[in-house]
């Protein structure tokens, strides 16, 4: 069954359990408004922020949410690094591409100087620092991390030319304990450490995405309660469970998903 048929069968505007959910329909987890306010304020002053947590807690979606929110602020330029594991040469190539600066990796000092000048001109004209978002930052080369730290620092470390948000799993803060990166770790002005969600938070998430997809009554209340209890606080696991239920429900041509479907699909047969 193709995706269009599945959506039509349940009257869905989009599949709420796949990663490509529209940005306007993203869920706002608890505490996100306060963190967003602090991040928007950081964009005016520059510096480092960090988002960490176990896999499956929605770190990348939070980063996407921030990119969307910051992109709506007048004069804020947002660059998203797509290949954090790059070598130093490729790092400079990507930075030049993100901030529209023609760089030669063979001339790192020239690239260093050109990027700082571009950021400085932007700050003078807008009073906002450019923003760099880096997902999967735990994979980033330590040399590239330190290059950003030095590049964005001016006036003997009293001025920041860039706002950088590093997002990664729990290996990221551990890396900042090493001698090589301890100086960078001490510069994290804002930290957001995601923890497994409570069942009530997952229920709020589930009801939100169903409503956004135009199918608030797709699941019975009993099924929702079972799903959030067995998702172990993990949004990715919840979405995987729901995706399987949705596909099986479509195969059976059901109009609503209930507890019976869950038990038939996930119960371990007796030996």
Residues 221 and 133 reside in one and the same domain: no
Residue 104 and residue 86 share a domain: yes
Tell me the DSSP string of the chain: --HHHHHHHHT-SS-TTSTT--GGG----TTHHHHHHHHHHHHHH-EEEEEE--TTS-HHHHHHHHHHHHHTSTT--EEEES-TT--HHHHHHHHHHHTT----TT-HHHHHHHHHHHHHHHHHHHS---EEEESSGGGS-HHHHHHHHHHTEETTTTEES-EEEEEE-THHHHHTTSTTTHHHHTTEEEEEE--PPPHHHHHHHHHHHHHHTT-TTSB-HHHHHHHHHHTTT-HHHHHHHHHHHHHHHHHTT-SSB-HHHHHHHHPPPP-
Residue 108 domain-assigned? yes
One domain, residues 70 and 174:
yes
Domain co-membership, 146 together with 59:
yes
CATH (domain of 246):
1.10.8
Are 11 and 85 within one domain?
no
Which of 162, 193, 224 terminates a domain? The answer is 193
Q: Evaluate whether residue 155 is within a structural domain.
A: yes
Asked if residue 72 is part of any domain, the answer here is: yes
The verdict on 128 and 239 lying in the same domain is no
Q: Clarify whether residues 132 and 212 are in a common domain.
A: no
Whether residue 271 is contained in a domain is answered as no
State the CATH number of the domain containing residue 92: 3.40.50.300
Q: Quote the domain boundaries for residue 46.
A: 32-193
Is the same domain home to 153 and 261? no
State residue 58's pLDDT score.
94
Q: Are residues 166 and 180 in the same domain?
A: yes
pTM (2 d.p.): 0.91
Confirm whether 94 is domain-assigned. yes
Whether 238 and 172 map to the same domain: the answer is no
pLDDT at residue 268, rounded to an integer: 55
Q: Which of 193, 222, 250 is the last residue of a domain?
A: 193
Residue 171 lies in a domain: yes
Q: Do the domain assignments include residue 122?
A: yes
Number of domains within the chain: 2
* Structure tokens given for 10: 């349940």
Look at residue 174 in the predicted model and tell me its pLDDT. 96
Instruction: Name the domain boundary from 175, 193, 211.
Output: 193
pLDDT below 70 — which residues of the chain? Answer: 1, 268-271
Same domain as 238, residue 104: no
Same domain, 122 and 149: yes
Q: What is the pLDDT of residue 1?
A: 63
The CA distance from 209 to 185, in Å, is 35
């Amino acid at each position: 069954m193709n995706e269009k048929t599945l959506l039509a069968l349940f009257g869905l505007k989009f599949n709420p359990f796949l990663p490509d959910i529209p940005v306007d329909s993203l869920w706002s987890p608890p505490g996100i408004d306060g963190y967003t306010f602090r991040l928007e304020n950081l964009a005016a002053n520059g510096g480092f922020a960090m988002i960490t947590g176990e896999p499956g807690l929605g770190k990348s979606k939070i980063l996407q949410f921030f990119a969307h929110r910051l992109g709506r602020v007048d004069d804020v330029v947002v660059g998203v690094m797509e290949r954090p594991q790059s070598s130093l040469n490729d790092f400079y190539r990507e930075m030049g591409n993100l901030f529209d600066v023609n760089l030669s990796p063979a001339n790192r000092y020239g690239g260093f100087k050109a990027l700082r000048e571009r950021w400085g001109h932007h700050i003078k004209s807008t009073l906002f620092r450019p923003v760099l978002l880096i997902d999967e930052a735990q994979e980033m080369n330590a040399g590239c991390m330190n290059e950003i730290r030095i590049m964005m620092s001016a006036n003997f470390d009293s001025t920041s030319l860039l706002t950088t948000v590093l997002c990664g799993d729990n290996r990221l803060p551990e890396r900042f304990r090493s001698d090589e990166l301890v100086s960078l770790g001490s510069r994290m002005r804002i930290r957001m450490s995601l923890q497994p969600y409570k069942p009530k938070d997952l229920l709020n998430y589930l009801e939100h995405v169903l409503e956004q997809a135009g199918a608030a009554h797709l699941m019975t209340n009993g099924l929702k309660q079972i799903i959030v209890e067995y998702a172990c606080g993990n949004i990715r696991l919840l979405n995987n469970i729901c995706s399987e239920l949705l596909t099986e429900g479509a195969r059976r041509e059901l109009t609503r998903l209930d507890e019976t479907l869950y038990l038939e699909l996930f119960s371990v047969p007796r030996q």
